[in-house]
Amino acid sequence: MEKTFAIVNQKGGVGKTTTTANLAAGIADCGKKVLTIDLDAQANLSAHYGYIVDNNDTNLSMYDVLRHETKLEDIIIEVEENLYLAPASLLLSAADLELGGVIGRELLLRKALSRIQDQFDYIFIDCPPSLGLLSLNGLVAAGRVIVPVQSEFLALHGVRQLLDTIDQVRSAYNPSLRVGGVLLCLHDSRRRLSKSVAETVREYFGSLVFDTVVRTNVSLAEAPAKGVSIFRYDSRSSGAEDYRSLAEEILANDSEENRLQHKSTA
Ligand SMILES: Nc1ncnc2c1ncn2[C@@H]1O[C@H](COP(=O)(O)OP(=O)(O)O)[C@@H](O)[C@H]1O
Ligand SMILES: [Mg+2]
């Protein structure tokens, strides 16, 4: 589960889906096999990879995995080289209510993942903009949380509640869950506000904040309409540069941690 990340912030529009889509693609570009999971009924991640959820919703999706115990391997599709997607469905919007009475409803994704997670080097779960049952499933199934925050006024609004939720999930279901990083998104270094928000976030979270900052970049907003990651849309954009740098930061930290672990067990 250490290699499974949940991308969570109950605020919408902070960069969760953009980060999931492009960080996963960046890590896949480094030769790792990566699975992404779309847990948002708006299916923005699915669309970002060119998978259009039709209104009749006849295709199998994460909804069937959570609701009908459909196997994950039956819904996963390859979207780019080394990069796979478990698509969302509009039906997920009803999942909170429909699963309300199911015993073990928080554990559904973790169970579904347990049989296939060894087949992937990294797994990224794009969570919806709420702390409801779907995000809870993401947190229970993950080893690490990435919290994107927008470099805007009120960036930290709601973050305390998110950290409390993470604490609760840790003590009730998932003792190894940790914050894998806070990511500054939509950063505009020419704006004084962006700078002061970045300073506040670094003061608050210290070393938990990724060194990489994702700048505001129009290519990042355009790529989803073409149904491809930023690397396919415009590999020379600042957006591609920033998500490449984030992928490298995570891979470098992980290999350093592996090295230290080997040393201490040797
Ligand atoms: N760094 C960025 N530069 C420009 N636009 C961005 C950037 N990050 C996200 N966006 C755009 O902002 C909007 C919200 O981002 P998104 O990733 O969908 O947020 P969330 O998933 O948290 O709701 C989208 O239209 C997206 O294309
Ligand atoms: Mg989203």
| pLDDT value of residue 56 | 67
Amino acid type, 50: G
Distance 31 CA to ligand 2 centre (A): 25
First to last CA, the chain: 23
| Other beta carbons within 10 Å of 30 | 15
> Counting atoms of ligand 1 from 1, which one is nearest the CA of 44?
18
pLDDT of residue 239: 98
Query: What is the structure's pLDDT at 254?
Result: 93
Ligand 1 mutation pick, 18, 212, 213, max ligand atoms within 8 A of CB: 18
In this prediction, residue 57 carries a pLDDT of 66
Whole-number pLDDT of residue 71: 96
- What is the rounded CA–CA span in Å between residue 95 and residue 114? 21
- Centre of ligand 1 from the C-alpha of residue 187, in Å: 11
Q: For residue 1, which amino acid is it?
A: M
| Angle, vertex CA 89, rays to CA 85 and CA 95, nearest 5 | 115
CA 78, 79, 82, 88 torsion-angle sign: negative
Q: How close is the Cα of 20 to the center of ligand 2, in Å? A: 9
Helix pair 218-226, 238-265: axis angle to 10 deg = 90
Residue 216 alpha carbon, nearest atom of ligand 1: 3
- Does the pTM surpass 0.85? The reply is yes
CATH number at residue 137: 3.40.50.300
Q: How far apart are CA 41 and CA 167, in angstroms?
A: 26
| C-alpha 218 to ligand 1 mean position (Å) | 10
What pLDDT is stored for residue 1 in this prediction? 85
Atom of ligand 1 nearest to the CA of 187: 1
How far, in Å, from the CA of 119 to the mean position of ligand 1?
Answer: 29
The partner residues of 150 in beta bridges, in order of sequence, read 185
Identity at 112, one-letter amino acid code: A
Question: Which residue lies with its CA nearest to atom 24 of ligand 1?
Answer: 221
Q: Which residue has the tokens 């670094």?
A: 202
Instruction: Please give all residues whose CB falls under 5 A of ion ligand 2, grouped by chain where several chains appear.
Output: 16-17, 44
Per-residue confidence (pLDDT) for residue 126, from 0 to 100: 98
Pocket of ligand 1 from Cβ distances under 6 Å: 12-18, 44, 129, 185-186, 214, 216-217, 220-221, 224
Tokens of 257: 């941690």
Ligand nearest to the Cα of 148, by number: 1
What is the pLDDT, as a whole number, of residue 90?
92
Structural domain harbouring 99:
4-265
Residue 67, number of CB atoms within 10 A of its CB: 18
Ligand closest to the CA atom of residue 18? 1
**DSSP three-state, residue 31:** coil
Tell which atom from ligand 1 comes closest to the C-alpha of 214. Answer: 1
Going from the Cα of 265 to the center of ligand 2, the distance in angstroms, rounded, reads 40
Rounded CA gap, 58 and 44, in Å? 18
3-class DSSP string for 155-178: CCCCHHHHHHHHHHHHHHCCCCCE
Closest ligand to Cα 241: 1
The structural domain count of the chain equals: 1
Q: How far apart are CA 16 and CA 136, in angstroms?
A: 15
Which segments of the chain have a pLDDT < 70? Answer: 55-57
